[in-house]
Amino acid sequence: MKDKKRGEIILSIFFLAFFIMLTVLSLGYSAKSRRLPLIVGIPGIALAGADLYRKTIRRPTTEPQRRRQTPGLHEMEEEDEGTGGEIRKAAAMIGWVALLILMIWIFGFLVTIPSYTLLFMKLRRESWVASILFAGIGFAVLYVLFIMALHIELYPGLIFKQ
């Protein structure tokens, strides 16, 4: 619960910071270019600020008040046990996505796609057969569709760029 609440506050802070940045930077632009950023930024600061205020400072005190204001609180408290795990899993998944992009950048699409598929599936406890099969199919589809049919050059990656 605490973790989840903390996460929500971080997101609120992100939005507030974003609108503040938007507004402050807009002051450096000419009058015409400043107009819409200010129309969006100032209410944005107000709303995000109010949202943050409600989540941090104005905390409900009594138990029935809490339950009324936060529907599903009971379920959320039951999830408490797993929330720490959830954050870890989310971080891991984000890591997986970042890894895909990193691999594409370095090794290019043709190498990354089968190897990433294999890696992901194996680490998620799939069998060798399934993993290799899917990796192979993925590679084949890619090759046929992009290279042979559409003649699209797939990014070769830093390593293979001549």
Partner 1 sequence: MDVLNSAWQGLIGVFQPGAFLLMMVGVILGNIVGILPGLGGQFLLAVLIPFVFGMNPISGMALLLGAHAVTGTGGSITSILFNTPGESSNAPTCFDGFEMTKKGQAGRAMGAALWASGVGGVIGAIALLLVIPIIRTIVLSFGPPEFFMLTVLGISFIGSLEVKSPTKGLISGLFGLALSLFGEDPSTGIIRYNFGTLYLYEGMRQIPVVLGLFAVAEMIDLGVKGSQLVTGKIEVKDSVWEGIRDVHRHWWLTLKCSIIAVYIGFLPGLGGVASAFFTYGYAQRVSKHPETFGKGNVEGVIAPEAANNAKEGGALIPTIGFGVPGSSGMAILLGAFLVMGITPGPKMLGQNLPVVFAMAWTVAIANIIGAAQTLAFAKWMARLAFLRSSLLIPLILIFVALGSFTTSSSMGDLVLTLIFGILGYFMKVYDYSKAPLVLGLVLGRIAEGNFNLSYNLFGLGFLTRPITVILSLLVVWALIGPILKRAREKGKGRAAE
Partner 2 sequence: MKTRAMILGCLVVMGLAILVQGDPAMAQFYNRKTIEIIVCTKVGGGYDADARLISPFLQEQLPGSTVIVRNVPGGGHIVGANRVWNAPPNGLTLGVANVPGLIASQIRGDKGIQFDLRKYTWIGRLYSRHRFLVGRAKAGFDTADALLKSDKEFKIGAAGVGDGPYNTGLLMAEALGLKKVRMIPNYGGSDEIYGILRKEIEGVIGGLESWNELISQGEAVPLITFDAKRYSGLPNVPSLSELVKTPSGKAVAAYIAGESELSRAIFAPPNLPKDVAQTLSQALLKAVQVPKFKEMIAKLKREPFDPLPGDDVTSKVTAAMDLPPNIVELIKKVAKEQE
Locate 135 and state its tokens.
Answer: 């990796």
For residues 40 to 79, the per-residue mask of contacts with partner 1, x marking binding by CB under 8 A and - elsewhere, is: xx-xx--xx-xx----------------------------
Q: How far is the CB of 74 from partner 2 (least distance, A)?
A: 51
> What part of residues 139-158 is at the interface with partner 2 (CB under 8 A)?
151-153
Tell me, letter by letter, the H, E, C secondary structure of the chain: CHHHHHHHHHHHHHHHHHHHHHHHHHCCCCHHHHHHHHHHHHHHHHHHHHHHHHHHCCCCCCHHHHHHHCCCHHHHHHHHHHHHHHHHHHHHHHHHHHHHHHHHHHHHHHHHHHHHHHHHHHHCCCCHHHHHHHHHHHHHHHHHHHHHHCCCCCCCHHHHCC
Task: Tell me the torsion sign for CA atoms 62, 80, 10, 36.
Answer: negative
> What part of residues 90-149 is at the interface with partner 1 (CB under 8 A)?
90, 92-94, 96-98, 100-101, 104-105, 109, 113, 116-117, 120-121, 124-126, 130, 134, 138, 142, 146
Q: How far is the CB of 126 from partner 1 (least distance, A)?
A: 5
Residue 109 in contact with residue 155, Cβ under 8 Å? yes
Q: Which residue's CB is nearer to partner 2, number 58 or number 151?
A: 151
162 touches, from partner 1, partner 2, none (C-beta below 5 to 8 Å by class): partner 2
Task: List residues near partner 1 by CB under 8 A.
Answer: 4, 7-8, 11, 15, 18-19, 22, 25-26, 29-30, 32-33, 35-37, 40-41, 43-44, 47-48, 50-51, 86, 89-90, 92-94, 96-98, 100-101, 104-105, 109, 113, 116-117, 120-121, 124-126, 130, 134, 138, 142, 146, 150, 152, 155
